[in-house]
Amino acid sequence: MSRLDEAFAGAKADGRALLIGYLPAGFPGKGDDVALIETMVENGVDAIEVGLPYSDPLMDGATIQEAVQRALESGTRTDDVLRTVAAVAATGAPTLVMSYWNPLERYGVDSFARDLAAAGGVGVITPDLTPEESGPWVAATDEHGIDRVFLVAPSSSDERIATVVAASSGFVYAASTMGVTGTRTSVGAAAETLVARTKARTSLPVAVGVGVSDADQAAQVAAYADGVIVGSAFVRAVLDASGPEEAVAAVGRLSADLALGVRRT
């Protein structure tokens, strides 16, 4: 059982959902990310997604695009992402990478899976990789013991969901709504239906992302999903801060608030 499996099992035993937080590596500047992510973990975030900055982030909304651009401008590269993963994994929190396919292919599929495992990472979320094109990735992740997380969306047919979950390990990422990432005033009603449809086809945990930004929304999603994923809200907290100390404090407050949300019965 991997650390990710253990984390989901532990949350389930506690009668709650797993809280997963996202920040891009190298944001808001190179070397600034680790302190922020450590604060997330210290304040109740159970698992971490480290974003691999990429110049053409198709799924990302304006908030994350701004953060990724800052990371790229600071010189953040794939080797830096792996160093961030190693630092975060040292906290004991299961640490995944969120990456588009092009950077992984450019780095070398087997090399990335190998180096991620060596850094203590547990998995990779690949929003633009389809199961039909994932043969080399499946082989590499199986070889190096890395979970591969694919996405389903409200538009996914039952047949498509079955294909995605068959290729996935660790958990299945359920996008709560169509479109790009970003905070929203409410989580789409389609998310609950999507989770139910996905759970009918797999025993893997299903985690919901896209749109969760506060404790009430986290509690709403935690009532039916195994995991709650928050990204844009953390990025916005950093972008709105006047400096590094305020950014750490803001991220800590948001983490604690969301942690309480997923623990509501």
Across 99-115, average pLDDT = 97
What element of type H or E holds 257? helix 244-262
Is the Cβ–Cβ distance between 120 and 83 less than 8 Å?
no
What six digits make up the tokens of 185? Answer: 């005033």
What distance in Å separates the CA atoms of residue 247 and residue 91, rounded to the nearest whole number?
20
- Indicate the residue type of 216: D
Domain of residue 196 covers: 3-262
What six digits make up the tokens of 114? Answer: 């190998």
**Domain count for the chain:** 1
What six digits make up the tokens of 32? Answer: 């600034």
Tell me: pLDDT of 127 over 80: yes
Q: Give SS3 for 173.
A: strand
Count of CB atoms situated within 10 Å of the CB of 179: 14
* Sign of the CA dihedral running 213, 216, 218, 221: negative
The reported pLDDT for the residue numbered 178 is 41
Q: What is the CATH number of the domain that holds 244?
A: 3.20.20.70
pLDDT digits (tens, 9 = 90+) for 66-87: 999 999 999 999 999 999 999 9
Is the Cβ–Cβ distance between 10 and 225 less than 8 Å?
no
**Catalytically annotated residues:** 49, 60
Mean pLDDT for the chain overall: 93
Spell out where the chain has E strands.
18-24, 47-51, 95-98, 123-125, 147-149, 151-152, 172-175, 206-209, 227-230
pLDDT digits (tens, 9 = 90+) for 17-68: 999 999 999 999 998 999 999 999 999 999 999 999 998 767 677 889 999 9
Q: How sure is the predictor about 140, in pLDDT bands with cuts at 50, 70 and 90?
A: very high
What six digits make up the tokens of 201? Answer: 């086809």
What distance in Å separates the CA atoms of residue 111 and residue 63, rounded to the nearest whole number?
30
The reported pLDDT for the residue numbered 179 is 43
What six digits make up the tokens of 99? Answer: 């990456």
Whether the bond between 103 and the residue before it is cis, its omega within 30 degrees of 0, is no
What distance in Å separates the CA atoms of residue 117 and residue 138, rounded to the nearest whole number?
14
The reported pLDDT for the residue numbered 71 is 94
The reported pLDDT for the residue numbered 177 is 56
What distance in Å separates the CA atoms of residue 170 and residue 206, rounded to the nearest whole number?
9
pLDDT digits (tens, 9 = 90+) for 169-219: 999 999 975 444 444 445 657 899 999 999 999 999 999 997 899 999 999
What distance in Å separates the CA atoms of residue 133 and residue 137, rounded to the nearest whole number?
9
What six digits make up the tokens of 79? Answer: 């080797």
For residue 60, what are the contacts with CB-CB under 8 A and spacing of at least 6? 68, 180, 181
- Indicate the residue type of 244: P
